[in-house]
Amino acid sequence: MKRASQGNESDLLDIMVDEILTFIKVHEPPEGYFVAFSGGKDSLVTLHLTRMAGVKHQTFYTCSSIEPPEIARFIREHYPEVTFLYPETSFYELIKRKFPPLRTKRWCCDFLRKYPTRKIPLKHRLMGMRIEESRDRGDRPRIERHIRENTLVYKPIFLLKEWAVWDLIERYEIPYPSLYDEGWSRVGCVVCPFICSPNMKHIDRNRERWPGIYKAFEHAVSEWFEMRKAQGAKLKERTTEEYIRNWYRG
């Protein structure tokens, strides 16, 4: 995944780094930042630049239990100072209580990622979000107030392109998960409605790599489906297998 900066790109990268370091320093709160860490490339660069800025901070990883297990091992090996946070209720139990998450009704990020951070008093939070990753993010500011959570979210690498992220990883020799070199472009949750598609390309690859997670997911969905049927719910699918197949296909 690495690539070398050349000529003007290297100069541009210097300018970007200087701007990001200034951004982080200018907004530093007295109590220090909460740095959200996922082990992915964007959070790796965000944390490294935070360290370069010399600001006070603590780093947290919210472990949903449905990420690649390689990520947790990577973080423990290379970033032992990172604090692990865990949801109060497992993903599989939440499916049975609610429903399998959908693109249009994606409750999982709140319950598995956001809510576990509420007990941390640090309200100024650095996140490795970039505009390039999603259209919706381009309509949101670089500093965002979340009233319900009573937090301020800062996005220092908001404007960076993917090439710049990888160039910084190479420049500063930042260790990164081997999954990127094995063909994975993202190292988030293994089961996610955003990777569902009619051709099931990403689903099939993930299910082959992490069969245990998919077995647990399908078991939880089966229990939810049978319970809803017993309650008289009108679901268009007649069997659990049909529902799961349709879910995978988006």
The domain boundary residue, chosen from 185, 214, 232: 185
* 120 plus 232 within the same structural domain: no
Residue range 215-234: mean pLDDT, rounded: 94
Share the mean pLDDT of the chain.
93
For residue 106, is pLDDT > 60?
yes
* 226 plus 134 within the same structural domain: no
On whether residue 112 sits in a domain, the answer given is yes
Helix (H, G, I), strand (E, B) or coil at 148: coil
| Alpha-carbon torsion, ordered 143, 145, 149, 153, to 10 deg | 10
Answer yes or no: are the C-beta atoms of 196 and 102 closer than 8 Å. Answer: no
The domain boundary residue, chosen from 185, 215, 237: 185
* 121 plus 229 within the same structural domain: no
DSSP, res 30: T
**Per-residue model confidence (pLDDT) at position 133:** 80
Residue range 29-39: mean pLDDT, rounded: 97
* 116 plus 59 within the same structural domain: yes
* 201 plus 181 within the same structural domain: no
For residue 3, is pLDDT > 60?
no
On whether residue 220 sits in a domain, the answer given is yes
Q: Which domain holds residue 240?
A: 196-250
For residue 138, is pLDDT > 70?
no
Angle at the Cα of 246 (from 245 to 248), degrees rounded to 5? 65
On whether residue 101 sits in a domain, the answer given is no
Lateral strand order in the sheet of 124-126: 83-85, 57-62, 33-36, 124-126, 151-154, 143-146
Residue range 57-80: mean pLDDT, rounded: 96
* 47 plus 24 within the same structural domain: yes
On whether residue 24 sits in a domain, the answer given is yes
* 84 plus 113 within the same structural domain: yes
Q: In 3D, which of 46, 33, 194, 217 has the Cα closest to residue 109?
A: 194
* 200 plus 174 within the same structural domain: no
Q: In 3D, which of 13, 85, 82, 73 has the Cα closest to residue 44?
A: 82
Residue range 137-144: mean pLDDT, rounded: 83
For residue 89, is pLDDT > 90?
yes
* 140 plus 71 within the same structural domain: yes
On whether residue 102 sits in a domain, the answer given is no
Answer yes or no: are the C-beta atoms of 126 and 50 closer than 8 Å. Answer: yes
Answer yes or no: are the C-beta atoms of 13 and 168 closer than 8 Å. Answer: yes
* 176 plus 228 within the same structural domain: no
pLDDT band at 5 (very low <50, low <70, confident <90, very high): low
* 161 plus 68 within the same structural domain: yes
**Per-residue model confidence (pLDDT) at position 135:** 63
The dihedral sign for the CA sequence 126, 95, 83, 166? negative
Helix (H, G, I), strand (E, B) or coil at 154: strand
Euclidean distance between the first and the last CA atom of the chain, given in angstroms as a whole number:
29
The dihedral sign for the CA sequence 155, 156, 161, 162? negative
On whether residue 1 sits in a domain, the answer given is no
Helix (H, G, I), strand (E, B) or coil at 88: coil
**Per-residue model confidence (pLDDT) at position 235:** 87
Residue range 98-122: mean pLDDT, rounded: 93
pLDDT digits (tens, 9 = 90+) for 169-200: 999 999 999 999 999 998 989 999 999 999 99
DSSP, res 35: E
Chain centroid to CA 212 = 20
On whether residue 65 sits in a domain, the answer given is yes
**Per-residue model confidence (pLDDT) at position 250:** 86
Taken as a whole, the chain contains a residue count of 250
Q: In 3D, which of 249, 75, 51 has the Cα closest to residue 179?
A: 75
For residue 244, is pLDDT > 70?
yes
Domain count, the chain: 2
* 64 plus 124 within the same structural domain: yes
Residue 48 belongs to domain with CATH number? 3.40.50.620
On whether residue 160 sits in a domain, the answer given is yes
**Per-residue model confidence (pLDDT) at position 149:** 86
